[in-house]
């Protein structure tokens, strides 16, 4: 069973939020992901310094890639919300 991200569930109701609130939520998520991405980089560096097994690095790389994909979508979403293309 896949893990459901509460943020994605909340997005299903984006059409009910005022534009300012939707932008605020998307921007907050963006900042949280940026902070999370930075923590992945620190963790990866720490694991390498501790000579952790390669698979640990790969798990961190996968999570970082997922964060980058979300960040790209969020940055595009802000522009589309501002242009009233979504919701």
Dihedral in degrees, nearest 10, Cα atoms 8, 32, 27, 73: -50
pTM (predicted TM-score): 0.79
CB-based contact 36:84 (threshold 8 Å) = no
Give the model confidence (pLDDT) of 12-25 as tens digits. Answer: 999 999 999 999 99
Q: Of 31 and 56, which is predicted with more confidence?
A: 31
Give the model confidence (pLDDT) of 54-87 as tens digits. Answer: 888 888 888 888 889 999 999 999 999 999 999 8
Q: Of 80 and 43, which is predicted with more confidence?
A: 80
- What is the model's pLDDT at position 1? 61
């Amino acid at each position: 069973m896949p893990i459901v991200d509460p943020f994605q569930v909340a997005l299903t109701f984006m059409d009910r939020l005022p534009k300012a609130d939707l932008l605020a939520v998307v921007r907050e998520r963006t900042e949280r992901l940026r902070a999370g991405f930075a923590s992945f980089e620190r963790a990866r560096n720490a694991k390498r310094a501790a000579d952790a097994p390669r698979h640990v690095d790969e798990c961190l790389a996968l999570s970082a890639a997922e964060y980058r994909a979300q960040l790209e979508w969020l940055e595009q979403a802000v522009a589309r919300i501002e242009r009233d293309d979504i919701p």
